């Protein structure tokens, strides 16, 4: 697990051997500090907080869906999520007897239907912690200096396309048993990662801003106006949620594909994954 980069300290071993006799040099692990503790804490807290916000958020959405159509003459439904629930219960044999098909989606993808008061309280609870967690994250980035690795640069554009092309073509190449080489970069994150992680941080900020715009459209009317008014701010808030959901899929898939070192570096902070050439270049 930690053997990836075990090397001898490499400094004047021969001299030591001369003076201390036959003592072998102690093996040393060479690691890099990858994530500041505050970044790691806030990273993991984001999972339960986002989960709570999304589940309670869909319960709140249930009370007044933003995407509506004219009532269906047979079902009376005007909500696409209710339509989906009715369809699912009609087509899946063991769900034919489901008591409340129109709320099937809400009862399975949210805290539940008919619990607006509770969902609102739960949403505020998670939202205040989410904002606090965002500040912890920013503090960790600032103290640990990790923010420099996250800032996208204009010169990243080519690299973003290179990495995106690699991921788009790698499934086919693997099936065709053709070896595909991951473009290599000398930075902590590749340009696509940098863009993605930066976008998530921006989306977090926008989610908080649109949340306040919906929550206080009178007191913070200037903020609501920035997002194009109350109804538009609700749309923004909804689609930012979808963005987080979409981000999680490749994020988790690629961490799993990358292996244990990458995953544990977000828990323990250190990693043995780095190129020796990156090190030697910077030695005086």
Partner 1 sequence: MSLKQNEAELRSPVRSALRKKFAGAFSERPIEPIEVEPSILRRWTRRDLLLFGAGALATFAVGGSQLPREVWQRLGLAQSGATGPENKWLLNKALRLDDDVSAALYSKHHLVPTYSKSQITPLKNNYNGATPDPAYIPAWRLTLEGLSSGLAVSLDIRALLAHQIRDQITRLVCVEGWSAIAWWSGLRFADLLHAYPPVSHAKWALIESSVNLDANGNPDPYFVSIDLLTAQHPQTLLATHLNGKPLTVEHGAPARLLVPMKLGLKNIKAITRITYTKDEPPDYWAKRGYSHYDGI
Which residues would be at the binding site for partner 1 (CB under 8 A)?
1-3, 5-6, 9, 26-33, 41, 44-45, 48, 52, 60-61, 63-64, 66, 107, 111-112, 115-118, 120-122, 124-125, 128, 145, 148-149, 151, 187-188, 214-221, 225, 230-231, 234, 264, 267-270, 274, 278-279, 281-282
Task: Give the residue with the Cβ less far from partner 1, 170 or 208.
Answer: 208
Task: Give the residue with the Cβ less far from partner 1, 7 or 173.
Answer: 7
Smallest gap, in angstroms, from Cβ of residue 205 to partner 1?
A: 18
Task: Give the residue with the Cβ less far from partner 1, 37 or 183.
Answer: 37
Smallest gap, in angstroms, from Cβ of residue 180 to partner 1?
A: 26
Smallest gap, in angstroms, from Cβ of residue 179 to partner 1?
A: 28
Task: Give the residue with the Cβ less far from partner 1, 67 or 172.
Answer: 67
Smallest gap, in angstroms, from Cβ of residue 138 to partner 1?
A: 16
Smallest gap, in angstroms, from Cβ of residue 202 to partner 1?
A: 17
Smallest gap, in angstroms, from Cβ of residue 167 to partner 1?
A: 23
Query: Which alpha helices (H) appear in 64-156, and where do they start and end?
Result: 80-91, 104-109, 116-144, 147-150
Distances (CA, A) of 84 to 81, 101, 116, 252: 5, 9, 21, 27
Q: Please report the DSSP string for 141-192 in residue order.
A: HHHH-THHHH---GGGHHHHHHHHHHHHHHHHHHHTT---PPP--SSSS-HH
Could you tell me which residues come within 8 angstroms of residue 191 by beta carbon, excluding any fewer than 6 positions away? 152, 156, 157, 158, 159, 160, 162, 163, 185
Task: Give the residue with the Cβ less far from partner 1, 170 or 269.
Answer: 269
Write the burial class of residue 104 (CB in 10 Å: 0-12 exposed, 13-18 middle, 19+ buried).
buried
Task: Give the residue with the Cβ less far from partner 1, 153 or 158.
Answer: 153
Select from 212, 268, 210 the least CA-distant residue to 238. 210
């Amino acid at each position: 697990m930690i053997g990836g980069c075990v090397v001898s300290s490499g400094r004047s071993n021969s001299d030591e051997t001369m003076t201390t006799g036959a003592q072998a040099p102690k093996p040393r692990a060479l690691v890099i500090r990858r994530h500041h503790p505050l970044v790691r804490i806030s990273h993991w807290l984001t999972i339960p907080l986002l989960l709570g916000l999304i589940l309670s958020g869909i319960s709140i959405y249930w009370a007044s869906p933003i995407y509506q159509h004219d009532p269906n003459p047979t079902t009376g439904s005007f909500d696409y999520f209710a339509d989906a629930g009715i369809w699912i219960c009609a087509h899946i044999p063991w769900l034919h007897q489901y008591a409340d098909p129109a709320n099937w989606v809400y009862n399975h993808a949210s805290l539940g239907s008919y619990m607006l008061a509770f969902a609102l309280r739960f949403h505020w609870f998670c939202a205040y912690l989410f904002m606090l967690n965002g500040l912890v994250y920013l503090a960790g980035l600032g103290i640990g200096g990790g923010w420099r690795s996250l800032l996208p640069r204009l010169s990243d554009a080519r690299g973003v396309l290179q990495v995106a092309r690699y991921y788009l073509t790698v499934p086919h190449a693997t099936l065709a048993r053709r070896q595909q080489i991951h473009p290599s970069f000398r930075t902590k994150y590749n340009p696509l990662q940098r863009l993605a992680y930066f976008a998530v941080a921006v989306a977090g900020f926008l989610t908080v801003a649109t949340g306040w715009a919906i929550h206080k459209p009178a007191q913070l009317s200037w903020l609501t106006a920035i997002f194009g008014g109350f109804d538009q701010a609700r749309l923004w808030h909804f689609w930012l949620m979808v963005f987080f959901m979409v981000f999680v899929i490749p994020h988790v898939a690629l961490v799993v594909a990358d292996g244990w070192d990458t995953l544990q570096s977000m828990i323990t902070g250190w990693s043995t994954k780095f190129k020796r050439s990156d090190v030697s270049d910077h030695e005086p």
